[in-house]
Amino acid sequence: MKYPNWKGIVLGLLLGLSGHLDASELKIAYFAQDPPSIVPLSPAFDPDSYTVIAQIFDGLVYLDLNGHFQPGLATSWQPLTDTRWVFRLRRGVKFHNGEDFNAQAVKFTFDYILNPENQAGNNWIFSSLESVETVPQDPYVVIFNTKFPDGLFLNRLNLFSSICPPKYIQEHGIEHFQQYPVGTGPYQFESWLSNQSIRLKKNPNYWQKGLPHIDYLNYVIVKTNDWLAGFEDGTLDFIPNLSGNNTGKLMRQSVNQARIIKRPVLASYFVLLKNQGALASLDVRKALNHAINKDDIIRFADFGNALPMSSIGKSGEFGANPQLTPYEYSPRKARTLLKNSGVTLPIKLKALVADTAVPAAKIIQQNLKVIGVDLTLEIVSRTEWSNRVVIHKIKTGQRPDYDMVINFVDNPMFNLAFHAGLFLESGSPWSLLDSPEFDKRFTYALQVVDLSEHEKRLQALDKYVHDNALLLFTTQKIITAAVRKKFDITEYNTTGHLNYEVLTRAKVVESE
């Protein structure tokens, strides 16, 4: 009788266990509940989803931490005409399932996005795109045709041009792909335990040699109020957006464990308005802006980590108008404007608020009460907010039944046109506004490829948004992130988004 080699089996198990124990894992606090999706070809279109998507998938180009374009799956690009661009693709790249990346994958991805029947959430982002062509002579060249000269074209490709595997999707179906995503990115999908965690593992064959450094990314799904305790007890290693009042607590409780990262970023509490009822009146919208005490938001919501905003543009953002000044905090002016508007007081308004924007929303609620505006807040998770606002509009074509919607949002495109279009253009899945005049001005700002002229037009658009009080203007965030000292994450993205580079370049610097 032949006996098994128990010595070899035990040794193998021990070696395997040792390898697992030595693996590095970064545990990230970003979700309070499951995100809407972690693939780019879904109806979801929200910042949270793309935080994971950016690790599983690569785009053609990307913006680095300081807002400069870098080659991704495209090694070079150039305009052939004002409406025609050629991209040369990276050779030798494979999807996580072994499928080859090439021009057919690029065309498949964009054909899917552009087909309205698929209801892809990023369809709106590529509204300027007419078609994508392959070149029979070279499987690593693609040509993009736009409907008009588009000053935002390259920015659109950052983050939102995540390329998907055509054969895998054709063989298994889009629903399978949404559950088991496959990309070319630095991390591969490993597991998603509903409302517990999303775990990614290092792609050993990533085309950027030497990256990523950390073996596993674990997005731990935990309520925002529990992030601080999670860091203290070791459940969490990285909190990318730590509320200001928790910074001092964390440093007191975890003084030997935490490192704090701060940076002004292109992110804000955005208050989107539906221009109907009382909010159809310019005097009312201006009154509401004069009623908002931005110093209170900076002090009590951001604990000093913010700057007042004048319009939709932010400091350091391409296209922001530097000549604008914030609306003066003046309840007296606000009451005068309300009186001139002829509306009956009290004005009753209803707002849907994402949980990460609650402190600012409550300050706004109290500010408006002083001038005779009763604002009811319905507070939900960011995922539920996306379901009720973004996915609702994508699927039904209808704006949600709220006077305002409030969320904390960053700008992954680095260009003012992203937020201007996302929040205010009538065709956007986020927008509550229906303004043909704004739509016309927005389109005009886009339809130029000369960057200096594009910037000039965006600054004029920023002034129009300010003068017409199309939003309630709040504050620009100085992001505060906390990372466990054993990990080397020293810089945050200027766009405010937890992007590809922040996590892919993170390192383990010491063992605990």
pLDDT digits (tens, 9 = 90+) for 16-48: 444 455 799 999 999 989 998 999 998 888 777
| pLDDT above 70 for 9 | no
Q: Is residue 41 part of a domain?
A: no
The identity of residue 402, as a single letter, is: Y
Q: What's the mean per-residue pLDDT of the chain? A: 93
Whether residues 340 and 453 share a domain: the answer is yes
Whether residues 416 and 335 share a domain: the answer is yes
Whether residues 339 and 271 share a domain: the answer is yes
Q: Is residue 50 part of a domain?
A: no
CATH number at residue 228: 3.40.190.10
Cα separation, 490 vs 83, in Å, equals 39
Q: Is residue 160 part of a domain?
A: yes
Cα separation, 124 vs 119, in Å, equals 10
pLDDT given for residue 7 in this prediction: 45
Over residues 292-312, the pLDDT tens digits come to 999 999 999 998 999 999 999
**Could you tell me which of 101, 162, 103, 109 has the C-alpha nearest to residue 138?**
103
Whether residues 206 and 316 share a domain: the answer is no
Whether residues 190 and 277 share a domain: the answer is no
Do 47 and 65 touch, CB atoms closer than 8 A? Answer: no
Range of the domain at 330: 264-476
Whether residues 316 and 422 share a domain: the answer is yes
Do 113 and 408 touch, CB atoms closer than 8 A? Answer: no
Q: What are phi and psi of 52, to 5 degrees?
A: -85, -40
Cis peptide leading into 346, omega within 30 of 0? Answer: yes
- HSE, side-chain direction, 13 A CA sphere, residue 422: 25
The average pLDDT across 329-337 equals: 98
Over residues 199-255, the pLDDT tens digits come to 999 999 999 999 999 999 999 999 988 999 999 999 999 999 887 667 777 777 776
CATH number at residue 91: 3.90.76.10
Alpha-carbon separation of residue 317 from 19, 67, 388, 417 (angstroms): 45, 9, 29, 10
Alpha-carbon separation of residue 464 from 320, 375, 421, 437, 445 (angstroms): 12, 26, 13, 10, 12
Over residues 490-508, the pLDDT tens digits come to 888 899 888 889 999 999 9
Query: Exposure string (b/e) for 389-398, b if CB count within 10 Å is 16 or more?
Result: bbbbbbeeee
More confident residue, 3 or 446: 446
Lowest mean pLDDT among 84-93, 171-180, 496-505: 496-505
Do 497 and 47 touch, CB atoms closer than 8 A? Answer: yes
Q: Is residue 18 part of a domain?
A: no
CATH number at residue 274: 3.10.105.10
Q: Is residue 137 part of a domain?
A: yes
Q: How many residues does this entry show for the chain? A: 512
Over residues 264-279, the pLDDT tens digits come to 999 999 999 999 999 9
Helices (H), 346-498: 358-370, 382-386, 392-396, 416-424, 436-446, 451-467
**What's the token pair of residue 250?**
């964390």
Cα separation, 511 vs 489, in Å, equals 15
Whether residues 338 and 362 share a domain: the answer is yes
CB neighbour class for 108 (10 Å; exposed up to 12, middle 13-18, buried from 19): buried
Whether residues 139 and 153 share a domain: the answer is yes
Q: Is residue 133 part of a domain?
A: yes
Beta bridge partners of 472: 271
**DSSP per position, 47-63:** HHHHHHHHHH---SEEE
Helices (H), 321-381: 331-341, 358-370
Beta strands in 114-196 (DSSP E): 129-135, 138-146, 187-193
Whether residues 312 and 371 share a domain: the answer is yes
Query: Computed over its alpha carbons, how large is the radius of gyration of the chain?
Result: 24
Q: With cut-offs at 50, 70 and 90, classify the pLDDT of residue 356.
A: confident
Cis peptide leading into 212, omega within 30 of 0? Answer: yes
Cα separation, 465 vs 468, in Å, equals 5
CB neighbour class for 76 (10 Å; exposed up to 12, middle 13-18, buried from 19): exposed
Number of domains in the chain: 3
Cα separation, 494 vs 455, in Å, equals 19
Whether residues 160 and 201 share a domain: the answer is no
Q: β-pairing, 138-146 with 129-135?
A: antiparallel
pLDDT given for residue 11 in this prediction: 44
Whether residues 202 and 311 share a domain: the answer is no
The domain boundary residue, chosen from 109, 130, 164 = 164
Q: Is residue 16 part of a domain?
A: no
Whether residues 196 and 65 share a domain: the answer is no
